[in-house]
Amino acid sequence: MKGFGRLLGSILEDDNMKTINKDKVIYAMSPDNKPVLYADPGTQIMFETEDALHGQIKSPDGGFDGLDWSRVNPATGPVYINDAMPGDVLSVKIESIEVAASGVVACGKGMGALGHKLEGSAIKIMAIEGDEAVFSDKIRLPLNKMIGVIGVAPKEGAIPCGAPDYHGGNMDCKEIREGATVLLPVNVPGALLAMGDLHAIMADGEIGITGLEVSGAVIATIDVIKGKDLPLPMILNEEHIMTLASDEDLDIAVEMAVANMVDYLTKNEGFTTHDAVMLISLACDVRICQVVDPKKTVRVELPRRILSKAK
């Protein structure tokens, strides 16, 4: 894995690469946020990011005492994309994700899916060595680097960066990784894209309330798609087309994500509603991205090879 420091050095020496330093952050996505960068469609941008706890945990010994919860889930940005107008689709291609040499994982009372059964808190500072993270003397875990928070401004009001919704936000979906393209709605002029909350490792569900939280850097190519009716947000990679949805009720989130896939298949792939539902039941996996945010996030994965055969 390329060294994080060397990566940043090479990027900062590249005159063609637009960069945003990690001190340019927001804690809520809103139309009122002032852009820190203006960029044309097709621009490649490096987002330097803080970890989800804004670097406040330096040791496993302190617990969460004294943690400033108003500074969690910072997102770097926002970026104003020229010519992005309401009704357009913002395309964010994740070119690369680099992470720092260590990260934080934690669980505790009142946090996550089992917080009601925990007493006190526990924190690990995990070293990252090559493409693995050191959980213990006997356990090393392979990295699956991904972006927890990626979103645009909602149509109105402010949504905390720690919450997912129709604008994206804290979806904590492990498929938002290198090579994936995230499609987001443009709700306000310029879209106002921001991202952060990198994880070096995270499993579906994020049940303990954290992944392996790390600072890092994301290189992404930003584009604008016009005249396309899509059920957003969506994720595309080489293997799957994915629809997502978030709701306080996990059952409703599942229903919404499935309905989004039906919407995609009927409007963009020529399926009838009945055929779309049957195809999803036979060929699509429904997966839980996270169950620890104010709204739970679900994704439906459609294998692209199926559509290639249907052409």
Structural domain including 268 reads 234-310
- Domain with residue 280: its CATH number is 3.10.28.20
Note whether 153 and 44 are same-domain residues. yes
Among residues 225, 249, 275, the one where a domain terminates is 225
Domain membership of residue 129 (yes or no) is no
Closest among 97, 103, 100 to 146, alpha carbons compared: 97
Whether the bond into 233 is cis, omega within 30 of 0: yes
Split the chain (311 residues) into runs of 10 and give each run's mean pLDDT: 48 68 97 98 97 87 76 95 98 98 94 92 95 97 98 98 97 98 98 98 96 98 97 98 98 98 97 98 98 96 88 63
Q: Is residue 114 part of a domain?
A: no
Distance between CA atoms of residues 240 and 19, nearest Å: 30
Element (H, E) at 130: none
pLDDT at residue 127, as a whole number: 97
Whether residue 296 sits in one domain with residue 180:
no
Q: Which amino acid is it at 243?
A: T
**Do residues 152 and 274 both lie within one domain?**
no
Judge if 190 and 156 occupy the same domain. Answer: yes
In a domain, 120, yes or no: no
What CATH number did the domain enclosing 80 receive?
Answer: 2.60.120.580
Structure tokens, 223: 């584009």
Contact 58, 100 (CB under 8 A): no
CA–CA gap between residue 108 and residue 95 (Å, rounded): 34
CB atoms within 10 A of CB 101: 14
Contact 98, 146 (CB under 8 A): no
Q: Clarify whether residues 248 and 301 are in a common domain.
A: yes
Verify that 151 and 205 share a domain, yes or no. yes
Residue 107 falls within a domain, yes or no?
Answer: no
Six token digits for residue 217: 């850097």
Backbone angles phi, psi at 253, to 5 degrees: -60, -40
- In-domain check, residue 278: yes
Based on the fold, state whether residues 181 and 243 are members of the same structural domain: no
Q: What sign has the CA pseudo-torsion 142, 212, 180, 39?
A: negative
Same domain as 190, residue 79? yes
Is residue 94 assigned to a domain? Answer: yes
Q: Does residue 283 sit in the same domain as residue 302? A: yes
**CB contact burial 111-129 (16+ within 10 A = b; e otherwise):** bbbebeeeeebebbebebe
Instruction: Verify that 169 and 219 share a domain, yes or no.
Output: yes
Please give the single-letter amino acid code of residue 161.
Answer: C
Is 112 a domain residue?
no
CA dist 196 and 188 (Å) reads: 20
Angle in degrees, CA 228, 229, 233, rounded to 5: 105
Give how many domains the chain has, as a whole number.
Answer: 2
**Domain end among 190, 205, 225:** 225
Q: What is the pLDDT of residue 10?
A: 43
Q: Are 148 and 119 in contact (CB under 8 A)?
A: no
* pTM for the predicted model, two decimal places: 0.93
From CA 53, how far away is CA 214, in angstroms rounded?
9
pLDDT at position 311 is 63
* Residues 46 and 153 placed together within one structural domain of the fold: yes
Distance CA 46, CA 195 (A): 11
The answer to whether 208 touches 106, Cβ cutoff 8 Å, is yes
Is residue 127 one of the residues assigned to a domain?
no
Q: Which amino acid is at 31?
A: P
* Nearest residue to 21 via CA among 94, 74, 73, 70: 74
**Rounded to 10 degrees, what is the CA torsion of 155, 233, 252, 197?**
-90
Residue after which a domain boundary falls, among 173, 208, 225: 225
Q: Output the pLDDT for position 14.
A: 53
Domain shared by 183 and 246, yes or no: no
